[in-house]
Amino acid sequence: MASMDELRNQLVAIEADLDAGGYRVGAWDEFLRRVRGRSQQERHGLAADVSRVSRKLHARNGLRTVSLPAGIALELLATAIGGAALAIGRAQGSSVAAVVAAGIRSAGWYRAPMARGPAHAAAVVSPLT
């Protein structure tokens, strides 16, 4: 089992690779596998650093984030538009409107809101994830 210093060093190395643009695929998964073998208290000690590096990792591909209230508002808007399209489709017997309603939920621009914070960081290094 890796020591906490080894895990911290591995995390620092991953972050440095991300910052330099030389990150290799698989390093993050390997790190998470090693961290999941640690106690909850030890994982909690790494949570803030893990969250920071996780944000950098996901941001490298242009993942855009919005605040929680904005995410909820977008979710409600997409639900309302999908519901309206479905209702119109049923009223008119149109399968096109129903397909539009289904498309809203599977469109490439739509992503479920993800709340990020200390609770998320602890969940990221949980053995259950």
pLDDT of residue 65: 73
Average pLDDT of the segment spanning 18-40: 87
Mean pLDDT over the full length of the chain = 77
Spatial distance between the Cα atoms of 64 and 111, rounded to a whole number of angstroms: 10
Per the CB < 8 A criterion, the answer to whether 42 and 126 are in contact is no
Domain layout of the chain by residue ranges: 4-65+116-124, 68-106
Average pLDDT of the segment spanning 112-124: 45
pLDDT of residue 107: 57
Phi and psi at 121, nearest 5°, equal -60, -40
Spatial distance between the Cα atoms of 51 and 53, rounded to a whole number of angstroms: 6
Look at residue 126 and tell me whether its pLDDT is greater than 70. no
Instruction: Give me 14's structure tokens.
Output: 């991953």
Average pLDDT of the segment spanning 60-88: 81
